[in-house]
Amino acid sequence: MALATEPTRNGVAPPMSADVVIRMEGVQKWYDQFQVLKDIDLEVHRGERIVICGPSGSGKSTLIRCINQLERHQKGRITVNGVELGPHHRQLDLVRREVGMVFQSFNLFPHLTVLENCMLAPLKVRGTTKAEAKATAMRYLERVRIPEQADKYPGQLSGGQQQRVAIARSLCMNPKVMLFDEPTSALDPEMVKEVLDTMIGLAEDGMTMLCVTHEMGFAKSVAHRVIFMDRGEIVEQNTPEEFFSAPKSERTRSFLGQILAH
Amino acid sequence: MIRAFGYNEFLFLLSAVQWTLLLSVIAFIGGGIVGLFVALGRTSDVKPLRLLATGYIQLFQGTPLLMQLFLVFFGATVVGIDMSPWVAAAVGLTLNTSAFLGEIWRGCIQSVPRGQWEAASSLGLRYPGLMRYVILPQAVKVAVPPTVGYLVQVIKGTSLAAIIGFVELTRAGQIVNNATFQPFLVFGIVAAIYFALCWPLSLLSQRLEARYAAPSR
Ligand SMILES: Nc1ncnc2c1ncn2[C@@H]1O[C@H](COP(=O)(O)OP(=O)(O)OP(=O)(O)O)[C@@H](O)[C@H]1O
Ligand SMILES: [Mg+2]
């Protein structure tokens, strides 16, 4: 709310002093012989908004999927909200219920209505009452501006609407941090904006966000920090101003050249 | 003493249909319950469970149903249980059906896109809730047509229970034939009755398949 006066200004200093929500230390991951993540160190502070970009296959998805352990890492430590991810289910449960995730392909549950999609996890994971789950769901559906679609099935909605429902569904769990994996890549161009606007709205409310995206306009206006990944490494990270105007590494420059040429 | 095939003989065959149907229903329900666990084991992340379920399926798919009925029937005697042909047939058919349904349903569970599992687990749902509320409801839709279709196999499979002495439709046919010596007529009628039971199910299965194959909403 404090950021609302200057909604899309990322000039607001990232809250570095605030507590760390995600800490990755020396994280490594292999698929068989192929190393996807090489020694990743990353700290995400409460309220911080980070955009991750990089060429296809550089490990961006893998990195954020390790945070809620959709992929397991083999080496290093990942701590989320004070819980270190280990081999036990209990830690995994604690982490997953605090971390929301939005996918490129929406992944709404097609057999449930929009409202039921939003109510399922609060009911079955948090054990809230039906009335409460419904109230929360309607609140977030209003927030993503589609309350009137509550009783429809996902297949009856446009891509942009589905993605907004997916965001609302995550928010219903009241997550401490939201992960986005190319949330607008599967959308028709005319629907990209409505989803980005929803994400900007989240940013204004101070949500901690980690977004894999190639929407550089979004990165410039919303991110505190832009991270560039290539071949499983974090090659460069900086404020958006510095990142776009004065990229340090050659790999970043050539990547930006390709992206901005479009 | 040779009798002519008459109305009474026909009624005898018809009344045996109830045992065929009852055996089918028991095999189907029992096989469905066990088969669900087989399918869950087969799609499990836990390797021993997966291997166990795979072995179970291969054992029953790789041996003739008749041998399975023999093994249950005579095996029970070997370990000192006096099992009636009725119970032996029910147990044997249940086990066999569970293996086939387990394999059919494995495919249905795996047809639910990976993204559904990921979305559900990222929301914090654990295996039981994830299966119950997200995966199985979607798998069931895919499963209905082949499952109804498989019911036809179950009904036809019950005819093998005749060989261990359980009086269902086929055994009733043998009994009538022994009295009338009109095998072509008797077994023709028996076959016609099977057809009357199975054909509607085949049709239903095809229609369901066409319906579900239509572009979903
Ligand atoms: N299940 C898997 N098995 C083997 N290799 C995989 C698997 N998943 C990903 N990879 C490989 O790991 C590398 C990193 O994949 P990842 O999906 O994290 O890249 P990305 O940066 O998200 O790419 P994109 O921009 O295309 O989404 C790629 O080379 C990919 O081929
Ligand atoms: Mg990716």
In tens, the pLDDT along A209-260 reads 999 999 999 999 999 999 999 999 999 999 999 999 999 999 999 999 888 7
Percent of residues, chain A, with pLDDT higher than 70: 93
What does pTM read for this prediction? 0.90
Domain annotation covers residue B55: yes
| Complete DSSP assignment for A8-35 | T---SPP-TTSPEEEEEEEEEEEETTEE
Q: In what order do the strands lie in the sheet with A208-212?
A: A99-102, A177-181, A208-212, A49-53, A225-230, A233-238
For ligand 1, atom 2, name the residue with the nearest CA.
A31
Q: Which of A36, A71, A258 best tests ligand 1's pocket when mutated (most atoms within 8 Å of CB)?
A: A36
- CB atoms under 10 Å from CB of B193, counted, come to 20
Residues of B in contact with A180 (CB under 8 A): none
Please name which ligand lies nearest the alpha carbon of A214.
1
What confidence category does residue A66 fall into, taking pLDDT thresholds of 50, 70 and 90? very high
pLDDT given for residue A133 in this prediction? 98
Q: What is the domain-level CATH number for residue B125?
A: 1.10.3720.10
Contact A103 B115 (CB under 8 A): yes
Assess whether pLDDT exceeds 80 at residue B146: yes
- Tell whether ligand 1 has an atom less than 6 A from the beta carbon of residue A62: yes
Assess whether pLDDT exceeds 70 at residue A2: no
User: How open is the CA angle A248-A250-A256, to the nearest 5 degrees?
Assistant: 85
In tens, the pLDDT along B72-83 reads 999 998 998 888
Domain annotation covers residue B204: yes
Number of domains in chain B: 1
ipTM of the complex: 0.90
The answer to whether residue B46 neighbours chain A at the CB level (below 8 Å) is no
Assess whether pLDDT exceeds 60 at residue A5: no
pLDDT given for residue B169 in this prediction? 96
Contact B123 A121 (CB under 8 A): yes
Tell me the residues of chain A between 161 and 200 that have a Cβ less than 8 Å away from chain B.
166, 169-170, 173
- Tell whether ligand 1 has an atom less than 6 A from the beta carbon of residue A68: no
Q: What is the mean pLDDT of residues A128-151?
A: 97
pLDDT given for residue A14 in this prediction? 54
- CB atoms under 10 Å from CB of A40, counted, come to 24
Please tell me the distance from the alpha carbon of residue A228 to that of residue A36, in angstroms, as a whole number.
15
Interface with A, mutate which of B123, B125, B142 (most A CBs under 10 A):
B123
**Structural domain of residue B180, as residue ranges?**
7-213
- Tell whether ligand 1 has an atom less than 6 A from the beta carbon of residue A36: yes
Domain annotation covers residue B1: no
Domain annotation covers residue B2: no
Q: Output B210 or A6, whichever has higher pLDDT.
A: B210
Residues β-bridged to residue A75: A28
- What's the token pair of residue B37? 């666990």
pLDDT given for residue B1 in this prediction? 63
